[in-house]
Chains A and B, each alone.
Chain A
Amino acid sequence: GDSVTQMEGPVTLSEEAFLTINCTYTATGYPSLFWYVQYPGEGLQLLLKATKADDKGSNKGFEATYRKETTSFHLEKGSVQVSDSAVYFCALTPNTGTASKLTFGTGTRLQVTL
C-alpha cells in the first residue's frame, strides 16, 4: 500500500538557519503530494502541494519539489523563524478520484530558537 517516510525529529535550528525535512514515498501511479503544518494546540493546515512530477509547491518561504525519479518531496526553507516552530507532516493521495484519502508520514517536529 501507499506509505510516506519522514525524517525523525525533533529538528532544532537557530533562527535564520536553512531547513530541510526529508520525505520519501511509496505509491503506485502518480500521487499528489502535500506538506501540512500543525502549530501547537491547532489542527493541521495545508502548507503547500504538488500534483505532478517536477512541480514545485511553495508558500510562506517554504518550497518542495516533486521528484518522481527519487520518489521524494523534501521540504526546504532558506531562513527559518521562531514562528515556524511546529510539526510538519508529509502526505500523499492517489489521484483516483473523489474517494481517495490522504496517507500521512509520522510528522517532524521543528524547534527554532533565537
Chain B
Amino acid sequence: DAGVIQSPRHEVTEMGQEVTLRCKPISGHNSLFWYRQTMMRGLELLIYFNNNVPIDDSGMPEDRFSAKMPNASFSTLKIQPSEPRDSAVYFCASRWDTYEQYFGPGTRLTVT
C-alpha cells in the first residue's frame, strides 16, 4: 500500500504564477480532503470530495483557488494567480466510508 501520494513535495514559485498541486488517494477510498497548514492559522480544511463530487468548499479562501477530482484516483488543487500569503504546507487525505483519514506527506509551497 503506497499511501496517499502528493506531488510535488516542494514548490517554489513567483507571485502571479499558476501552481498545481496533485494528489493520488489510496485505492478504494471514496472521500478526499485538501488541507492547508500554516503557523498562523493552523490546519484548515479547504475542500472535500465524496465519490468525486465536491461536498463542501466553504474553506476555499477565494476564487484564486480551485480543486477538481476528475476520477477516483486523482485530484488537483490549483492556485491562479499565486500570492506570497498562499505559502503553506498543503495536505491531501483520503478515507473510505466513515473510517479514518489517511494523510499524504504534504506539499510545501513557497511563493516569493
Contacts and interface: CB of A to CB of B under 8 A. Distances in A.
Interface of A: 32, 34, 42-46, 49, 89, 93, 95, 97-102, 104, 106-107
A104 B42 contact: yes
18 contacts: A34-B100, A42-B106, A43-B103, A43-B104, A43-B105, A43-B106, A44-B43, A44-B91, A44-B93, A46-B100, A98-B30, A98-B98, A101-B45, A101-B48, A101-B56, A102-B45, A104-B43, A107-B42
Contacts of A95: 98
B43 A101 contact: no
B55 to A, nearest CB: 5
Given A106-B42, A107-B42, A100 B104 contact: no
Judged by DSSP, the binding face of A is loop
A49 B101 CA distance: 12
Interface residues of B, number: 22
Judged by DSSP, the binding face of B is strand
Contact of A107 (B43, B97, B103, B106): B43
A98 B45 contact: no
A42 B33 contact: no
Contacts, number: 47
Interface string B37-51: 000001101001010
A4 to B, nearest CB: 11
Contacts of B43: 44, 89, 104, 106-107
B82 interface: no
Contacts of B75: none
B28 to A, nearest CB: 14
Nearest to B53: A99
A9 to B, nearest CB: 12
